[in-house]
Amino acid sequence: MSGLELRELRKAYPEFTLSIDCTVREGSLTTLLGPSGCGKSTALSVITGIEAPSAGQIILAGTDITDLPPWERNIALVFQDYTLFPHMDVSHNIAYGLKIRKMPRRDIEGRSAELLELIGLAGYERRRVHELSGGEQQRVALARALAPQPKLLLLDEPLSALDAKLRIRLRTEIKRIQRELGVTTIYVTHDQEEALDISDEIIVMNNGKIEQSGTPEDIYRNPESLFCGSFIGASSVIPVSELYEDQQSSLHSREGLLFFRPEDVHLHGERPCSPCITFSGSQLTRKAYRGFYYEYFFSWKGHTVRSQGDGSLQEQQAYTLAVSADRCLILPEG
Ligand code: ADP
């Protein structure tokens, strides 16, 4: 098995324990997603060898690297704050790792040119670091990391320092470059939209553990816990016990939390649905303009039901909402 395997990997600090077991498929871009403090950086430190694990094994491309020093692991790391060498120009920055590996000079030049082309900065060889924008610096940092052809690329919140528009552009670029090279990549982020956009697979972490892993579609459509469901995308959650009795029996459950997405909620009778779960007397408390649609917030028995539409519904009016049972999940409480 190539790619990366983390086998029962543990890192125990006095007040926090990371405990994960997973596989990152060869050539995939896999995101570690979770709130601040869930253990993403700890996982990276152990994978890179900056920290020794308390237990477990790290297998990269079939080789056990658990006890190797960081510089023998063939892993490249890109942080959010570029960390380029300010006194070197772009081509020297990119060539740095290759010189250390004593690659012949002609080969270094060829490889640098190839990478500059790949990151869309051909012709920038002699530019100094301070002459580059934030986005360009991050591309050069990526090229420098990729130059020695690492077996694993780790991107630690690489776009956090950039503005929103540039972040979206650059993540598309990162995905393109990653696909083109086919390098196994772990992308760390706390930004769920970024994770949905860029990932082949997402590993959702919470409190040092893996909550769920799967494709973005899997995680969005079939969250296994309330944590995953509410961390990724908007949703509504209603205790099943508060639904009408006939609705409870159509769900084959009288316990747990009914979970559904805003795009599946509509006015009763507006779309076919069977069986239909209805929320009569839902009061529209707020509608928020989102550009090409409005987001609606209704109140039903004190719970918020979220929906979306063209803005034609009136605030403070009551409506009967509906959602098809096959668009709902029942998640465990707590
Ligand atoms: P994230 O990257 O998801 O924000 P971290 O991995 O940085 O989370 O931190 C997870 C937990 O591990 C935090 O509670 C943090 O205080 C703790 N932690 C991180 N590094 C150390 C350390 N060197 N010593 C003790 N505790 C640490």
- For the chain, domain boundaries: 4-230, 236-331
Residue of 13, 19, 186, 188 with the most ligand 1 atoms within 8 Å of its CB, for mutation = 13
- Cα 235 to Cα 47, 119, 180, 301: the distances in Å are 34, 37, 35, 17
Cα gap 92→99, rounded to integer Å: 9
pTM, entire model: 0.92
Strand order of the sheet with strand 75-78? 75-78, 152-156, 184-189, 29-33, 201-206, 209-214
User: 40: Cβ below 6 Å to ligand 1?
Assistant: yes
Q: How many CB atoms lie within 10 A of CB 87?
A: 9
- Point out the ligand 1 atom lying closest to the alpha carbon of residue 188: 2
**Superfamily assignment of 236-331 in CATH?**
Nucleic acid-binding proteins (2.40.50.140)
- Point out the ligand 1 atom lying closest to the alpha carbon of residue 205: 3
User: 39: Cβ below 6 Å to ligand 1?
Assistant: yes
What is the reported pLDDT for 67? 97
CATH second-level architecture of 4-230? 3-Layer(aba) Sandwich (3.40)
What is the reported pLDDT for 24? 98
Residue of 19, 38, 41, 207 with the most ligand 1 atoms within 8 Å of its CB, for mutation = 41
* Token pair for 165: 């528009």
What is the reported pLDDT for 106? 87
Beta carbons within 8 Å of 86's beta carbon, 6+ residues apart: 128, 129, 130
Q: What is the pLDDT along the chain (334 residues), one digit of tens a residue?
A: 589 999 999 999 999 999 999 999 999 999 999 999 999 999 999 999 999 999 999 999 999 999 999 999 999 999 887 688 888 999 999 998 888 888 888 888 899 999 999 999 999 999 999 999 988 999 999 999 999 999 999 999 988 888 888 889 899 999 999 999 999 999 999 999 999 999 999 999 999 999 999 999 999 999 999 999 999 999 999 999 999 887 877 777 778 999 999 999 999 999 988 789 999 999 999 999 999 999 999 999 999 999 999 999 999 999 999 999 999 999 998 7
Measuring CA to CA, which residue among 282, 224, 214, 285 is closest to residue 257?
224
Cα gap 70→76, rounded to integer Å: 10
What is the reported pLDDT for 230? 92
- The dihedral region occupied by 247, where left means phi > 0, alpha psi between -120 and 50, and beta the remainder, is alpha
9 CA → ligand 1 middle, Å? 15
Closest residue (by CA) to atom 6 of ligand 1? 39
User: 226: Cβ below 6 Å to ligand 1?
Assistant: no
* Token pair for 324: 């098809």
SS3 255: coil
What is the reported pLDDT for 82? 65
Cα gap 323→272, rounded to integer Å: 9
Residue of 18, 31, 42, 211 with the most ligand 1 atoms within 8 Å of its CB, for mutation = 42
